Chains A and B, each alone.
Chain A
Amino acid sequence: SYVLTQPPSVSVAPGKTARITCGGNNIGSKSVHWYQQKPGQAPVLVIYYDSDRPSGIPERFSGSNSGNTATLTISRVEAGDEADYYCQVWDSSSDPWVFGGGTKLTVL
């Protein structure tokens, strides 16, 4: 099955830019979706189809995808952005919906 690899943790100071990566074999040929999950809460979709934002998601959240790496970028990071972030792809193999292992974003 398809494997998505995320760094376990990323730390960033308030007001700076956070970049969370999601690695996969030729992931650039797939659509990547990103979810934010705060403690005790359900995941929230923040980016879909690589770079689209659902209604209500700040423009500070953006995404890109090329080659073997997809990236979620959070600009002007705020304390409220502290959360776990998961990437997800749909793959036409036998295990269609694959999630990455998650990245804990810490705002210093």
Chain B
Amino acid sequence: QITLKESGPTLVKPTQTLTLTCTFSGFSLSTSGVGVGWIRQPPGKALEWLALIYWNDDKRYSPSLKSRLTITKDTSKNQVVLTMTNMDPVDTATYYCAHSPYGDHYLFWGQGTLVTVSS
């Protein structure tokens, strides 16, 4: 059974750096083809893809946010970490991590974590 769970702060101040951790079980991020991605959803709005890291440490970022994002993995801990710098109120959203079996779609999702950016 594959599960993922996001953790991190629920409130950050403008200009601060957000660090989110995705802890997963039921699969290995060293299996060929597998990836873990981050997707966010502002309240009442659509899904927005942010970043993905593959089993081989290949990393992809949304072009519009690339300068602010860093994604890393710790295979031994079954964790993927996303950092986003220079947070702004428009970054207020529910942040999801998700498992991608072949790197092109997301089969299993975490429950999401709501991050509010406010002073």
Contacts and interface: CB of A to CB of B under 8 A. Distances in A.
- Verify that A and B bind, or say they do not: yes
B105 A90 contact: yes
Interface residues of A, number: 24
A94 interface: yes
Contacts, number: 58
Contacts of A98: 49
Nearest to A97: B49
Given A45-B105, A97-B52, A86 B62 contact: no
B104 interface: yes
Interface range, B side: 20 to 34
A97 B37 contact: yes
B46 A43 contact: no
B90 interface: no
A88 interface: yes
A95 B111 CA distance: 24
A29 interface: no
Given A45-B106, A99-B39, 11 more contacts: A31-B105, A33-B106, A42-B109, A44-B109, A45-B105, A48-B105, A88-B47, A90-B105, A96-B52, A97-B49, A97-B52
26 contacts: A31-B104, A31-B105, A33-B106, A35-B47, A42-B96, A42-B111, A42-B112, A43-B109, A45-B105, A45-B107, A48-B105, A86-B46, A86-B47, A90-B103, A94-B63, A95-B49, A95-B63, A96-B52, A97-B39, A97-B49, A97-B52, A97-B104, A99-B47, A99-B48, A99-B49, A100-B46
